[in-house]
Amino acid sequence: MTSAAGPEEVGDRRNVSDAAGVAVLGACAVWSLITATVHGGRPEGVLLAILAVAAGYAAGRISGALLPVAAPCAAALAGLTLTVAVPHLAPGPEIITPLGHAGATAAVLTLSAGSACCAAWATPAPALRLALRGLAAGIAVTAAALGSITGFVLCVAVLLCSLAAGRMHRRGLGIVGLALVAGLGAGLPWAVAGNAVPDGLAAALEGQLTRHRIELWHDALHMVHGDTALGVGPGRFGELSTTATQTLLSDGKPHSAPLQQAAEQGVIGVALLALAFCWVLHALWRTPRSTPIALTAGGALTALAATAAVGNVLSFTAVSVGAGLLAGLATARPLADEPPQRTWDTRPRGDRLAP
């Protein structure tokens, strides 16, 4: 299940992928500066998020090459500790729902579960692999104990995705499936904001997401119609949104990464955001790591993308660093060759015995 290409071809693939990543992240930074210059916005938040992703990715590549099992295990434990020890990442009485920090808790725990599952696939020891999967299950239980139902569901989904990845022999189909899931998740707030969903579904979503958040999405879509190409400028949604200005405890965000990008940086900003996610999936597709590791990391990052489509999780530096770290761990090339992965053989018994 590892790549059969020679070292030179693998090196060329990695160089192309790394160059593409630098170009995409650089374009995101430059475009935020351009839109801020035109409309007088504040690009610092966007630039900090890009820097956090880049730093996490570099750290993941380095630590994943040196410690392919210990590094993702440590990342999982660090994320779990962070959500328990830092009150501002855990839901509690001081957090205003649904615009509080519960989404960040779910995101960090989901990335932690993904890291634990990647570590499980990286080790050849059955006992350690079982223990690491137990760690992933424990992270899901922790999410439930903290009151993060979303985090519990996403952690369980990542664990199941990781187990299913062991049955896949061609990662390309899995990567395409993850891209489709992310696209559907990103399209949901657009459909809701544009009143393009059936009344029954709209009422159900309003009950889960609250009317306040949907009104923020309406404001974001209105800004997109006002300036489709450039948006209103980074960081300016809060001062131009009627719903946000009438709210006493508002963070000035529409709580949807695609809609925020469209409202503040126009359709080009949305295209760059989508391109950044596609670059991550491409890097996972071409990674020399095994298919289960690539698809496990892809599943966790897709779950994060779905959460970001209906929340403000990308506003938290810990989430951005964690996303970059997991992507880096899954695309790192260990200095020592990884042992062959044991997966389920789904062929008929007679075919298995054939020479």
**9-62 per-position pLDDT tens digit:** 555 566 788 899 999 999 999 999 999 999 888 999 999 999 999 999 999 999
For the chain, how far is it from start to end, CA to CA, in angstroms? 19
In this prediction, residue 345 carries a pLDDT of 46
Dihedral sign for Cα 302, 304, 306, 309, please.
negative
352 has a pLDDT exceeding 50:
no
In this prediction, residue 346 carries a pLDDT of 44
Residue 98, preceding peptide bond in cis (omega within 30° of 0): yes
Q: Tell me which residue of 150, 59, 164 sits closest to 110, measured CA to CA.
A: 150
Instruction: Confirm if 138 and 253 have CB atoms less than 8 A apart.
Output: no
DSSP for 276-344, please give it: HHHHHHHHHHH-SS-HHHHHHHHHHHHHHHHHHHTS-GGGSHHHHHHHHHHHHHHH---SSPPPPPP--
Residue 200, domain member (yes or no): yes
From CA 347, how far away is CA 288, in angstroms rounded?
Answer: 25
Residue 84 pLDDT grade (very low, low, confident, very high; cuts 50, 70, 90): confident
Residue 278, domain member (yes or no): yes
Q: In which domain, by residue range, is 203 found?
A: 16-335
Q: How much of the chain, in percent, has pLDDT values that exceed 70? A: 85
- As given in the structure block, the two tokens for residue 140 are 């899901």
Backbone Cα Rg of the chain = 21
Residue 219, φ and ψ in degrees, nearest 5? -60, -40
Residue 8, domain member (yes or no): no
Residue 337 pLDDT grade (very low, low, confident, very high; cuts 50, 70, 90): low
Taking CA atoms, 74 is separated from 63, 271, 318, 341, in Å, by: 10, 34, 15, 21
Taking CA atoms, 249 is separated from 46, 69, 97, 100, 254, in Å, by: 22, 43, 11, 10, 13
Mean pLDDT throughout 302-319?
92
Residue 305 pLDDT grade (very low, low, confident, very high; cuts 50, 70, 90): very high
Least confident of 59-63, 165-169, 221-225, 246-250: 246-250
In this prediction, residue 285 carries a pLDDT of 94
Residue 209, domain member (yes or no): yes
In this prediction, residue 335 carries a pLDDT of 82
E strands present in the chain = none
| Domain total of the chain | 1
pLDDT in tens, 89-116: 544 434 444 434 678 899 999 999 999 9
In this prediction, residue 303 carries a pLDDT of 96
Instruction: Confirm if 90 and 84 have CB atoms less than 8 A apart.
Output: yes
Residue 217, domain member (yes or no): yes
Mean pLDDT throughout 310-335?
93
Residue 4, domain member (yes or no): no
Mean pLDDT throughout 307-334?
93
- The alpha carbon torsion through 169, 115, 188, 262 (nearest 10 deg) reads -110
From CA 141, how far away is CA 21, in angstroms rounded?
Answer: 35
User: What's the mean per-residue pLDDT of the chain?
Assistant: 86
Mean pLDDT throughout 136-153?
93
Residue 102, domain member (yes or no): yes
Residue 310 pLDDT grade (very low, low, confident, very high; cuts 50, 70, 90): very high
Residue type, 276: A
In this prediction, residue 94 carries a pLDDT of 41
Instruction: Confirm if 10 and 289 have CB atoms less than 8 A apart.
Output: no
- As given in the structure block, the two tokens for residue 317 are 């530096």
Residue 186, domain member (yes or no): yes
Of residues 250 and 110, the one with the higher pLDDT is 110
Residue 30, SS3? helix
Of residues 83 and 351, the one with the higher pLDDT is 83
Residue type, 213: R
From CA 331, how far away is CA 197, in angstroms rounded?
Answer: 38
